[in-house]
Structure 1
Amino acid sequence: MPISKYDIELDLSEPSDSSHWHLADLIGSNKRVLDVGCSTGYFGEALIAAGNECWGIEYDVASARVAAERLDRVEVADLEAVELAAVFPDETFDAVVFADVLEHLRDPLTTLRAARHILRPGGAVYVSLPNIAHGDIRLALLKGRFKYTKTGILDNTHTRFFTRDNLSEFAKDAGFVVAELRGTHADLFSTEQRLQASDYDAAVVDLVREDPLSSIYQFVAVLVPADATSLATSQALRMQDLELQNSRLVAQAEEHGTAAHEFRKFSEQLTAELAEARASAADQAARAAQLEAEIARMSEAASEPPRTLREKLRERLR
């Protein structure tokens, strides 16, 4: 990865909503960490400052040279050609970090699987990945747009895309489960896609915003090997997810219940008005029939001789 694109200055001294802060917070201290795709070592340097030992692996020689001055050890290797297990001995690290890396690889699954071998017992993999289901991407697709950018969710070097669900599937296929999942946030119309709210119907925007995942810019996850303990953890997380879904369904049911009550009131009002209109129509129809009969009688009488007509009129006037 070119230095000019990915070498950044980090300040993790205060909590923030950046993926690097979340990763550092999850990793903690007193660990031997491997920063995969370490670039110039800017993140590993922050991990060392937090009390960790940090190694790095980087394919760009110039970046690796800078990283070597910051980290405890740096290896130069192309993960598309060499597996992690071929570079590092088994059970070497307490933590393996893929900070915005897996989405750049053609075969990230093989790389993630290899990370299991170099983890010590009780170790974990820490990843940050862009959320392709962010609201800006959804809205862009509604306009037929899929615009790559220099950086961001549609970084022009991304080859794989992730949502929350396929992140879990991806981890499972590699022999891991998601033990913890966080997200960084960016509101609609605030990403590098540069969409304009005025181009979209407000109802459509509100519908997209209803999904909490639409504001997630990046996922930050802790992956642990799928043994019995981690499966129990996964089940607990699944229960938490189901409880969250249940809460949302209850809220929706209450909202829909209120709407249904209003609809019933409106329906009853319309039914009453319709009955009144039908009754009025029936009265009008009866009156019309009466008038038609009267007109018919008058027409019949008009065709009779004048004397007979006068006699009938006298009878009606009596």
Structure 2
Amino acid sequence: MSKYDFGYNIEENRTNRWAFENVEVNSRVLELGPAGGTLTKSLYEKKKCHIDIVELDEQDGKLAAQYAEKAVVGTNGNLNLDYWYEVFSENRYDYIVALDVLEHLADPEHTLQKASKLLKPTGKILLSVPNVAHNAVIIELLQNRFTYGRLGLLDNTHIHFFAYESICQMLKNVGLYINKQEAVLKCVSDTELPSRYEDLGAELGHLLKQRKYGEVYQYLLELSFNSEQKTIDLLGNGQIKEPVYARILPDGESQNEISVEIQEGWNEVTVELPKDYLMKSIRFIPYEGSGIIEHLQIIGYGNSESEMSYNWTSAQKLGNESFFVHMGNHMNEMNYLINEEYSALKIKYRLVPFYGERELYAAECFQKEIVKSGKREEALQEKLRETDLVSKRKITDQKAEIESLRQDKILLKERIQKEMEENGRREEALRQDKTLLKEHFQTLQVLVEEIKHGKLWKIFDLIREVEK
């Protein structure tokens, strides 16, 4: 019995189960490399298919032949030769199945070309191929290793290796098209290789996890001649995503926590809030790691729609509703006050996570910035104290100056008053002098008149009057 005989329980083998599910009842099937006949038996017994097989291993071939109408086994079943093709050249099949076969062949493209000639115009080929570009192999290569094993990605009987684009090129050369593609996914630690993402460090390990098809262990492809049919893609990016969550704590309490799955890059999620619970605030933790949160926006939905603003944050604000968050320093929280009843929140932001050395460097820079900020704050406080003292001195000087001006004003007022009084006295004296002069002038006029009339004796009387 060969190392590829895994018994007859089809449920235990993902690849055989996939092929079984994709073959219609009562179909005409050619199975290349059936090993001990796990799939052959199920198709025969459960789907009443008519099956022919080609198997190099004679012992396995005899086991599988129990469920086949015609079997080419042993040296005649060598797919590197064309004898098997000559045997079945007149047949046309609804399905040709080749699971983990091509990597064992000297010229897999030639074998696939021959097999496609045995396919009905509407027939399909079910093909599974291991992915040599799996991250486990990449990690091995980055550590200068390429160790063959008994089974798996680096099976010691593999003589051809395939990655996604090389498979597509081979199919193009043969004239086949992918109708449906999916895969068996395995994370690095679940493969037979000793690889671990941790071997590369956190940052490079994270970058490797982002590789498209990086965790595809085996491609499962349904092929046909139909170039018009749009490919059904069940493969996606071929990655096993470790869930990352943001957290919402109503009133800051963890017992009412709401977790929301997020991803690197842009996120837009709607969160239903608990009914019959009047919360006064929410604590929002956008990412439980280190990184940048950009363009954060939270909109509350209730009787009205309104954008919410945080009243405090432990994260480092960068501007434009962007923040640096760092879980190690608990600097990843934003608190929002709720002034009305909301039934739901819409949360939008872009996550740029940091890993490994970048995370440590960012945390170190952030810590230095905190120290610098503290020193700047101390310097600012000292400057404020100095400014306060200068201001107090200026105020004291200004008060003294105002008091001096007030005293000068009082003195000036007193001096003006004295001058006015002096002027009043002078004016009174002048008035009296004026009155006296007027009287003298009148006396002189009388004297002149007396002289004119020769009354000199009266002159002496007037003189004596004046002298008095």
Once superposed, what is the RMSD of the aligned Cα atoms? 3.6
CA shift, 1:36, in A, is 0.5
Who is 1:168 aligned against? 168
| Counterpart-to-counterpart distance in 2, 1:208 and 1:9 | 35
| Counterpart-to-counterpart distance in 2, 1:150 and 1:28 | 34
Whose strand proportion is higher, 1 or 2? Answer: 2
Residue equivalent to 1:31: 27
Amino acid at match of 2:5: D
Partner of 2:16: 20
Counterpart CA distance in 2 for 1:214 and 1:11 is 29
Find the residue that maps to 1:6 and give its secondary structure: coil
Q: What is the match of residue 2 of structure 2?
A: 4
The structure-2 alpha-carbon separation of the partners of 1:24 and 1:198, relative to structure 1 and needing over 3 Å to count, comes to same
> Map of 1:190-205 to 2, 5 A cutoff?
190-205=190-205
- 8 Å CA contact 1:85–1:117 kept in 2: the answer is no
Q: 1:124 corresponds to which residue?
A: 124
Q: Do the aligned partners of 1:83 and 1:114 also contact (CA within 8 Å) in 2?
A: no
Q: Separation in 1 of the partners of 2:63 and 2:231?
A: 40
Tell me the SS of whatever aligns to 2:189: coil
1:141, distance to aligned residue in structure 2 (A) = 1.3
Alignment of 1:22-171 (within 5 A): 22-51=18-47, 52-76=49-73, 77=76, 78-82=78-82, 84-171=84-171
Contact 1:102 1:108 in 2 (8 A): yes
CA distance in 2, matches of 1:86, 1:264: 73
- Asked if the contact 1:48/1:54 (under 8 Å) is kept, the reply is yes
Which amino acid in structure 2 is aligned with residue 152 of structure 1?
A: G
8 Å CA contact 2:188, 2:196 repeated in 1: no
For the pair 1:237 / 2:231, whether they are aligned, the reply is yes
Q: Aligned letter for 2:103?
A: E
- Distance in 2 separating the partners of 1:260 and 1:39: 57
The structure in which a higher percent of residues are helix is 1
Distance 2:17 2:139 in 1: 28
Following superposition, the deviation at residue 62 of structure 1 comes to: 2.6
100 and 143 in structure 1: CA distance in 2 versus 1, 3 angstrom threshold:
same
The amino acid of 2:34's aligned partner reads: C
| One-letter identity of the residue aligned with 1:203 | E
1:53 Cα deviation after fit = 1.8
Q: SS where residue 2 of structure 2 aligns?
A: helix
Deviation at 1:83, TM superposition (A): 5.5
Instruction: Give the Å deviation of 1:114.
Output: 0.7
2-structure distance, mates of 1:208, 1:12: 33
Three-state SS of the structure 1 residue aligned to 2:124 is strand
Gaps of 5+ in 1: 245-250, 281-318
TM-score normalised by L of structure 1: 0.71
TM-score normalized by structure 2? 0.49
Over 3 Å counting, the alpha-carbon distance change for 1:211 and 1:39 in structure 2 is same
8 A Cα contact 1:17 1:184, kept in partner:
no
Tell me, what secondary structure is at the counterpart of 2:42?
Answer: helix
Letter in 1 for 2:62: R
Which runs of structure 2 are paired with 1:235-274 in the superposition (5 Å)? Answer: 236-237=230-231, 254=266, 259=294
Corresponding letter in the other structure for 1:31: S
Structure 2, unaligned runs of 5 or more: 238-262, 268-290, 297-316, 324-368, 380-468
Give me the whole-angstrom Cα distance separating, in 2, the residues matched to 1:105 and 1:263: 58
**1:128–1:221 CA contact under 8 A, matched in 2:** yes
**Residues 10 and 39 of structure 2 are in contact (CA less than 8 Å); yes or no, is this contact kept in structure 1?**
no
Q: How does 1:175-194 map to 2 (within 5 A)?
A: 175-194=175-194
CA distance in 1, matches of 2:36, 2:119: 23
Q: What is the CA–CA distance in structure 2 between the aligned matches of 1:59 and 1:11, rounded to whole Å? A: 22
Give CA-to-partner distance per residue, 1:127-147, whole Å, 9 cap, x none.
111011111111111111111
Larger Rg: 2
Q: How many residues align?
A: 263
1:76-101 Cα offsets, whole Å, 9 max, x none, are: 32121215531203442111111110
